[in-house]
Amino acid sequence: MKLTCLEKVCVPAEQKKVNEDELYCSESVAFILDGATGLGEPLINNEESDASWFVRNLKSFFTSRLNDNESVEESLFYAVKKTKYLFDEITSKSDVRKFQVPSSGLILVHLKDHTLSIHRLGDCEIYCLLEDGKIWTLPKSPLESFDNHSISLLQKEIAAGKPFSDARKAIAPTLRRTRSKMNSPGGYSALSPGLEYMKHLETKKLDAKKVSKILLCSDGFSISFKQYGICKVDDILSSRAPSLKKIIKEIRKTENDDKSLLKYPRLKPQDDATAIIIEVEKLFQ
């Protein structure tokens, strides 16, 4: 058996040049990193953003380590530890608070011995089309409820007549409190320059023989079917699926038509959008 990438996209939000997402796909491992820059002044000089620096280094260390001689969890630990070392060197003279550090969501699948292992941190999504036609997915991430609370506060500020930039500043204390709950009891999970993520890594296992296709996506892409109604997961994973690029185009059109952020409440006008469609090939058949 092997994983075959049928289509992939990784597109930055139009209002900024830097992409804080990363993706990777091989015959045995596929993952998406959904980066988030800290809520404060940048900590890393000469970089487009702290998050892009973080996910780029994380991906590089992680993929360089992937092999059949150690587990994916061990490779991820190595990558985070190496990235933490670099981050600590750069910020050694800074008083870094938790809400300032860059972080990243993760959704990862690993195929080995007919078993599909799934690992998640944060609110990235996975949808598996099973051979019986059903769709399997993970439960909602706790981060969604935190974001929904922040979105409701942002809506009130915008509805009161504040421009988006001023409305975001008004809810900044709430956003920082949420970010400070990262990898803490009662909070949410994420990769960051630290090893606390290990206690919060979600892991599930599926019989790969029962899985036909897989959709991995960041929340910047899943908004297309979770909120905008542009498409359905069933369609994305079927033979009648619109291309991922076409879906991205519709996402951007929807967002540009709703610049007030009131029709489709969200925390920012646009987000980086990343998705991979994978086929689980049964070579023994």
The structure's pTM equals: 0.95
Task: Phi first, then psi: give them for residue 31, nearest 5 degrees.
Answer: -155, 160
Which tens digits make up the pLDDT trace of 54-69?
999 999 999 999 988 8
Listed in sequence order, the residues at least 6 apart from 111 whose beta carbon sits closer than 8 Å to its beta carbon are: 1, 2, 3, 27, 28, 29, 117, 208, 280
User: What is the C-alpha separation between 44 and 46, in angstroms, rounded?
Assistant: 7
Query: Binning pLDDT at 50, 70 and 90, where does residue 21 land?
Result: very high
* Range name among 14-18, 56-60, 108-112, 225-229 with the lowest pLDDT average: 14-18
Neighbours of 151 (CB within 10 A): 15
Residues paired with 107 in a beta bridge:
32, 120
Region 213-240: mean pLDDT is: 94
Distances (CA, A) of 24 to 124, 206, 232: 14, 20, 24
DSSP class per residue in 158-215: HHTT--HHHHHHHTHHHHHHHHTTBTSTTSB--BBSBSGGGGT-EEEEEEGGGEEEEE
Confidence of residue 14 (pLDDT cuts 50, 70, 90): confident
75-127: per-residue pLDDT in tens? Answer: 999 999 999 999 999 998 888 999 999 999 999 999 998 999 999 999 999 99
CA 97 to chain centre: 22
| Per-residue model confidence (pLDDT) at position 284 | 56
Mean pLDDT of the chain: 94
